[in-house]
Structure 1
Amino acid sequence: MARPLPTNGLRAQIEDGGVALGVLDNTYSPTLVEFYGDLGVDFVWLDFEHGGPDPWDAATVENLLRAADGTGTELLVRLPDSSPTLVRKALDLGVRNLFLPRVESAAEVREAVKSARFRYDGAAGDRGLAAPRARRWGLGENYVEASDRETLVGTTIETAAAVENIDAILDVPELGFVFLGPFDLSVSLGHPGEIDHPEVREAVETVRSAAVAAGVTVGGLGFGMDDVNEKAENGYQILHVGSTTGALQNAVSGWLDGFEGARE
């Protein structure tokens, strides 16, 4: 029996003008993805560039997706590479929101975004048409139209070259969002780890203001809720509010610091 494909909640939220709040799960645990969904986060960020399982491991990725599906949250997946083959593989597994690492030109972004579409910019796209999990193994209704409508592909802006090319990148058709990566950007600009360095802050603002002016969604890291709220007021719509390891560190450190007895 044919069945309708689900709506992408993250895409719908930002298109309606809302702000999506998510958590970076750096344990890559289906249990925690499911728990975060029950807690009410809008998305769980899985970073396959800096850690986690190999995204070619279909069974592992599918279990993470099932955990998200079961609680109505979305996965936001950063790939380790922007190759069209990897983009198509992730989408066929059922990922609907992904972003590319370390791109430096509009041509790279366009090639990846085109690989995520059956129809692209008034012509043929470069997506593979089969019957994978994303199509519910052939049972999904209007798969071509639904997939093109619900897929969200963005890119990280984390190199000096990407900042220089930001206007051309923002002009790529169907670019879903840009996500600012201040740490890698600080390395590219020659100030490793100095995300408050004036040159880094200027580059971040250049990208943010250009994206807002172009009508492209902006995403980024939140450094505490005061920072998250300020960024939301300044046009960010996809915001990371913390990580699993950060939450555990704060909780466990607080428990240990609060103990008044002897531990020796």
Structure 2
Amino acid sequence: MNTLDIPSRNLMKAKMDSGEVAVGMIVRIMRGVEIAAIAKGAGFDSLYIDLEHCSFSLETVSQISLTAVAMGVTPLVRVAGLDKADIGRTLETGAQGIIVPHVENRDQAEQIVEAAKFPPKGDRSLLGINAHTLFKGGPAVEIMEKMNQATLVTAMIESVNAVENADEIASVDGIDMLLVGTNDLCNSLGIPGELGSERVLEAYEHVAAACRARGKHLGVGGLNSRPEIARELIKKGARYVSAGSDTGILMAAATATAQAFR
């Protein structure tokens, strides 16, 4: 098998590029690889491990990511911040993309691409024999090109300032998606919890316009409790939606089951 046969194609990215909607589940408490099988069985296109809000080790991230890829589910990881070393190490585990929270401007977006992409797009250090190549070697240029294509880079838009700068963030080559974090955006707007506010929808419209203008994908986050709003945003061009977390799904099902027997 030569390097061109390495199964590192990002199925979620391919689905969005074809105009379809990808649905993801956030992972915060399920540390076993079984969560990848659950995501596949339930019909999710992707899962993303939320290192901003959980205590997982990179070993856990690696095990879940490798299993997800084998299952045909795209593993993404929300890193805690802009740290270049953290982004590189996270991708080395086998994750097929990163989600970076609280991106505010073009400069930060450029830093993210530099950390996540190999030359010539970025400055990520190359370990030629890695999880993405099934630990096979090959021509460096070929490996870097293929891995750059397979790595989905997402900037989260979570503040008034970020919304205002959405076009310049989306203009950065190597940024694939802008994912709006609706809850933190509400906080920034001074309307905590008002997910359906006109001001929130106006912010989404602004980010959606930037994505259309720059050929980037729009992602919807934090609206799992308001699927009717998420559906409207999908009609406006969103190609990714986070449909809830393992914590929320488990609690909702557990609560409903307990109530059914009382």
State the TM-score, normalizing by the size of structure 2: 0.88
What amino acid maps onto 1:5 in structure 2?
A: I
CA deviation string 1:39-76 (max 9, x = no partner)? 321001221112241xxx33211111122123111112
Question: Over alpha carbons, which structure has the higher Rg?
Answer: 1
Question: Which stretch of structure 1 is more off in the superposition, 69-78 or 137-146?
Answer: 137-146
Q: Deviations over 1:128-153 (max 9, x none)?
A: 01233234334367311211111110
1:46-195, aligned counterparts within 5 Å? Answer: 46-53=49-56, 57-120=57-120, 125-130=122-127, 131-139=129-137, 142-195=142-195
Equivalent residue pairs, number: 254
Residue by residue, what CA displacement relative to the aligned partner does 1:69-120 show, whole Å, maximum 9, x if unpaired? 2311111211101222222111222211111111111011111112222234
| Structure 1 unpaired stretches of 5+ | none
| Contact 1:5–1:143, Cα closer than 8 Å, also in 2 | no
CA shift, 1:206, in A, is: 1.5
Greater CA drift, 109-118 or 8-17: 109-118
Q: CA RMSD in A?
A: 2.1
Asked if structure 1 preserves the Cα contact closer than 8 Å seen for 2:159 and 2:188, the reply is: yes
Among candidates 31, 34, 59, match of residue 34 of structure 2: 31
Displacement of 1:171: 0.7
Give the secondary structure class of the aligned counterpart of 1:180: strand
- Partner Cα distance (1:92, 1:254) in 2: 39
Taking a change above 3 Å as real, the CA distance of residues 8 and 198 of structure 1, as seen in their structure-2 partners, is: same
Letter in 2 for 1:126: D
1:248 is displaced (CA, Å) by 2.2
- Distance change in 2, residues 1:226/1:159 (3 Å): closer
- What's the counterpart of residue 199 of structure 1? 199
Quote the offset at 1:2 in angstroms.
Answer: 4.7
How far, CA to CA, are the matches of 1:60 and 1:45 in structure 2?
Answer: 13
1:100 corresponds to which letter in structure 2?
A: V
SS in 1 for 2:146: helix
Consecutive unaligned residues in structure 2, runs of 5 or more: none
Q: Which moved more, 1:242-251 or 1:85-94?
A: 242-251
Q: 2:235 aligns with which of 233, 236, 239?
A: 233
Residue 19 (1) aligns with residue 33 (2): no
Q: Is the 8 A contact 1:114 1:120 kept in 2?
A: no
Among the aligned pairs, what percent are the same residue? 29
